[in-house]
A and B are shown apart, each in its own frame.
Chain A
Amino acid sequence: MAANASRRLTGLAPTGLLLLGAIYCLFPVSWVLIASTKSPAELFTTPTLAFGTGFLSNVTELFAYRDGVFWLWLVNTLVYAGGGALLSTAVSAISGYALAKYRFPGRTLIFNLLIGGILVPAVVLAIPQYLLFAKVGLADTYWAVLLPQILHPYSIYLARIYATAAVPDSLLEAGRLDGASELRLMTRVAMPLMTPGMVTIFLFQFVAIWNNFLLPFIMLGDDGKFPLTVGLFTLLQAGANQPALYNLILTGALLSIIPLIALFLTMQRYWRTDLSSGAVK
């Protein structure tokens, strides 16, 4: 009994520390949730934790801002993050599969080259990428934001680990004995087995592209092609000295994080950083 009580007591401090961490992490998000319900006047006068009455008018005002440019930013972000993550997952999955399941000359070299990309800082790439895109007339287009984000070294690394664990050699051998082509083995045997791992890679890439600021900021000039991050940035630049615009900026910030938080909460079991066990619970 006494041991039990002291056990319960020692559990209190860790629980308390973790809850403090949770409160710290939830604080800005809950604050913006409340702040975005306030009308411009309420924002500076009502208590921090009091809900306001202006949420709907804030949202209406935001979507009316500059002829509804916020809508475009939302749709653009979906195109960049959805399309980019889809392409990236496909390339990562097949590359990881090839690197995991074939023995061929140059395998280590190709793997090291692709993985070495992790070490290259984005800054070294973004500006020359912009200049090169400008040379072929593709700067300030959707392609300029989509294409550079397809190759993602860490995803290839994860896909390779996952393929090693999830695709049994015996199954491929059996398929070969049955006369299946290598293409058929990949699309019909390997890819279905790798699907859970691919979902994880897709999610991480989706978030990474959704959150990316530097690349679209450098590539794009036309605000009709902006993703939310760059759009919010320009909104802040325009409104930082005009407190009357603060409610728009805060509502914009809230709307730009809601889709990701929803994705994040509904796909809980796929958020893993380690794929080596070969199966997502």
Chain B
Amino acid sequence: MTSTAKRRRPRGRPSLAPYLILTPAMVLFALFLALPIGYTVYLAMRRTRVSGLGLGKGARREVFVGFDNFAAAISDGELWAGWLRVLGYGALVLVVMLGLALLFALLLDSARVRLARFSRIAIFLPYAVPGVAATLLWGFLYLPSLSPIRAVFDVDLLGATTVTYSMANVAVWGGVGFNMLVLYTTLRAIPRDYYEAARLDGASELQIALRIKIPMLVPAIILTTVFSIIATIQVFTEPATLRPLTNTISSTWSPLMKVYRDAFVTGDLYSAAATSIVIAAISIVLSFAFLRVVRDRAFGEG
């Protein structure tokens, strides 16, 4: 109380400092996030109209078309075929990748594992491999002329049906380590006394994992799932990199590949903008739907 008088800056008087410190972030936010989003919405509602023969000045005009591009994007069969492929691929990646990440994290955290440090580093290592390089490595491992896998199993790893699994394998390989680390770090933060108490009560390691560890991991599992959903829906690098090695991947294999083709190959920016908003909307809706489903169960602060 008495010290208030001595203070040069009395408590409670708002200072300009935080606003000044946050200025760079807000400027970047405006320029590279808000403006591009606004511009996408703007583009998605416009289209070039050609009048007459399309020759001469003013024959090509950009006009406002409202939701026409969205309607076209939503009724586009090619896009939906892409969605179906990505949904199948994504479900596979999410279940296998997060399942393995959870399993490895729990195993690492159990007291009796040997070589835990080596395994942890090895499993996290693919995180340091760029998606392009990872796809390239696996792509060559799938190639009939080089594949050591083909020497053991006689399957065409780049066939029309198998290619989805082969691609999912690349994503699982690249993502399992990071997700494992997130879950493992969360596990290490749980006070050890919990387990001691459970052990004294006669609980087995498996029971401890199922009854104590997994429930406490729920918020971290939710976080990794939401991030994985967003990343999986936007899959682009893996199919684009694998494409030169096989003819089973079309230029519109995933929705994002179709956006790229529309924007830069066929030059239809307006439909690319509309499609990318549809992709964003679907990934946000799926993330929120997922959050809603699990929110009632346990959603810790943080």
A236:B115 contact, CB within 8 angstroms: no
Nearest Cβ in chain A — how far from B289, in angstroms? 13
Smallest Cβ-Cβ distance to A243: which chain B residue: B145
Nearest Cβ in chain A — how far from B130, in angstroms? 4
A260:B128 contact, CB within 8 angstroms: yes
Whether a CB of chain A sits under 8 angstroms from the CB of B200 is: no
**Whole-angstrom CA separation of A243 from B32 in the bound complex:** 42
Interface residues of A in 209-266 (CB under 8 A from B): 210-211, 213-214, 218, 228-230, 232-233, 236-237, 240-241, 243, 246, 249-250, 253, 256-257, 260-261, 263-265
Nearest Cβ in chain B — how far from A49, in angstroms? 8
Whether a CB of chain A sits under 8 angstroms from the CB of B192 is: no
Whether a CB of chain B sits under 8 angstroms from the CB of A65 is: no
Whether a CB of chain B sits under 8 angstroms from the CB of A35 is: yes
A14:B22 contact, CB within 8 angstroms: no
**Whole-angstrom CA separation of A93 from B276 in the bound complex:** 31
B279:A124 contact, CB within 8 angstroms: yes
A122:B133 contact, CB within 8 angstroms: no
Number of residues of chain B lying within 8 A (CB) of chain A: 99
Whether a CB of chain A sits under 8 angstroms from the CB of B136 is: yes
A24:B32 contact, CB within 8 angstroms: no
B230:A119 contact, CB within 8 angstroms: yes
On chain A, the residues within 8 Å of B205 by CB distance are: 10
Select B26's contact among A110, A150, A176, A230, beta carbons within 8 Å. A110
Select A95's contact among B21, B108, B133, beta carbons within 8 Å. B21
Known contacts A14-B107, A102-B18, A147-B32; 6 additional CB pairs below 8 A are A23-B122, A26-B122, A124-B277, A132-B39, A211-B132, A213-B236
Chain A interface residues (CB < 8 Å from chain B): 7-8, 10-11, 14-15, 17-19, 21-26, 28-29, 31-32, 35, 43-44, 48, 91-92, 94-95, 97-99, 102, 104-105, 107, 110, 113-114, 117-125, 127-129, 131-132, 147-148, 150-151, 156, 176-177, 179, 182-183, 186, 207, 210-211, 213-214, 218, 228-230, 232-233, 236-237, 240-241, 243, 246, 249-250, 253, 256-257, 260-261, 263-265, 268, 271-274, 276-277
